[in-house]
Structure 1
Amino acid sequence: MEAQVQRDFDNLESADKEIQYAAFKNILAVTEKEVNWAYEVWDQFLQDLSNRNHHKRSRAAQFLSHLAISDPDKRMLNDFPRLWEVTRDPKFVTARHCLQSIWRVGLAGDEQQEMLIHHLANRFTHCSDEKNHTLIRFDLIQGLRNLYDQVKNEEIKQIALGLIEVEEDSKYQKKYAAVWRNT
């Protein structure tokens, strides 16, 4: 692991919130592309998914989602249920951070993409009784759009448009459909 990345990981524990946030952003930026040190931190992030501190849970979920592209052993196929659980975190902001980044798991390969899409579609279909379900649905649709923009798989678009049709409230149906304009 490069020295700067190690410093950024160390700075996540800084007492200074600005230093923490800068380190967080730096790590997300570095993990936009494949890295060779993913397994050096993978197990710690898996543990942090259930940490008492919601900031650590949120960061771990986002980092693991980003590191999925750096997972040649396909650990994510087995570890995904633990990551997915954070999308139902008792702290809604933590759940939302996970929902907004989990689409990146679909960039790791066909198996991961299929698994992810299945979970996103199932959650969309069955979340109407959850608190904040309209925000959850929006994040799910936005995640599908983000994935589509990266991989250009028309099947993803058709799945998303089909899910949008399930929405009974026309106001939210329009809001979700807006995500897919210009495709």
Structure 2
Amino acid sequence: MDSLTKSYFDNLEAKDKDLQFEAFNNIKAAIDEEVDWAYEVWNQLKDWLTDPDNHRRSRGAQFLSGLAISDPEQRMLQDFPALWEVTKDPKFVTARHSLQSIWKIGLAGEEQKDLLIAHISDRFRNGAEEKHYTLIRFDMIQGLRNLYDELKDETIKQTAMALIETEEAEKYRKKYLSVWK
């Protein structure tokens, strides 16, 4: 890892919130592309998924999701359950940030995509008792749209449409469909 990237990770713990925010954004931008330093931080990020600090849990989930494309050893296939748990975090903002970035795992390969879609589909169908469930459903549909936009895989769109059709409330069905306009 180059010294600049290392400084971004160091600055995530800075007292200055602006410095933290800048570091966070720089790391997010870096992991939009494949990087060669993923495994230098992988275990630390995995540990963050269960950290008492909700910011670390959120960052760990978001960064690992982005680093899935830089994972030739396919560690994500084993680590996915821990990351998925953060999408159900007791702190809703942490859960939501994690859920909004988890779609990136689907960019890493066919197995990762299938694993992700299976979890999204199951939660969409069976998570009605969750707090803020309509927002969670919206984020999952948006994630499928983001994945579709990157991969142009029609089965992703078909899956999303099938999930949307299971929504009984017309206003929410329309809201979810708006993601695909």
**TM band (smaller chain):** over 0.9
The separation in 2 between residues aligned to 1:79 and 1:11, in whole angstroms, is 25
Please give the residue correspondences for 1:6-155 in structure 2 after superposition, counting only pairs within 5 Å.
Answer: 6-155=6-155
Question: Aligned equivalents of 2:180 and 2:126: distance in 1?
Answer: 21
SS across alignment from 2:87: helix
Deviation at 1:103, TM superposition (A): 0.1
Q: Give the Å deviation of 1:126.
A: 0.8
How much does 1:120 deviate? 0.6
The structural deviation recorded for 1:153 is: 0.2
- Which contiguous aligned blocks of 4+ residues in structure 1 show a shift greater than 2 angstroms? none
Q: State the alpha-carbon separation in 1 of the partners of residues 168 and 17 from structure 2.
A: 42
Q: CA RMSD in A?
A: 0.4
Give secondary structure in 2 for the equivalent of 1:13. Answer: coil
Distance, in Å, in 2 between the alignment partners of 1:30 and 1:118 is 28
> How high is the TM-score relative to the length of structure 2?
0.99
Letter paired with 1:124: F
Q: Tell me the CA shift for residue 3 of structure 1.
A: 1.3
Deviations 1:34-76 (A, max 9, x none): 0000000000011010000000000000000000000000000
- 2-structure distance, mates of 1:9, 1:130: 33
- Structure 2 CA distance for aligned equivalents of residues 63 and 153 of structure 1: 24
Q: Which sections of structure 2, spanning at least 5 residues, go unmatched? A: none
What amino acid is aligned across from residue 171 of structure 1 in structure 2? K
Report the CA distance between 1:119 and its aligned residue: 0.4
Cα separation, 1, equivalents of 2:17 and 2:172? 36
Tell me what 1:161 maps to.
Answer: 161
Length-normalised TM-score, structure 1 = 0.98
Matches of 1:129 and 1:53 in 2, distance apart?
26
SS at match of 1:46: helix
Q: Which runs of 5+ in 1 are unaligned?
A: none
* CA offset digits 1:140-174 (Å, max 9, x no partner): 00000000000000000000000000111100100
Distance (whole Å) between structure 2 residues aligned to residue 51 and residue 3 of structure 1: 25
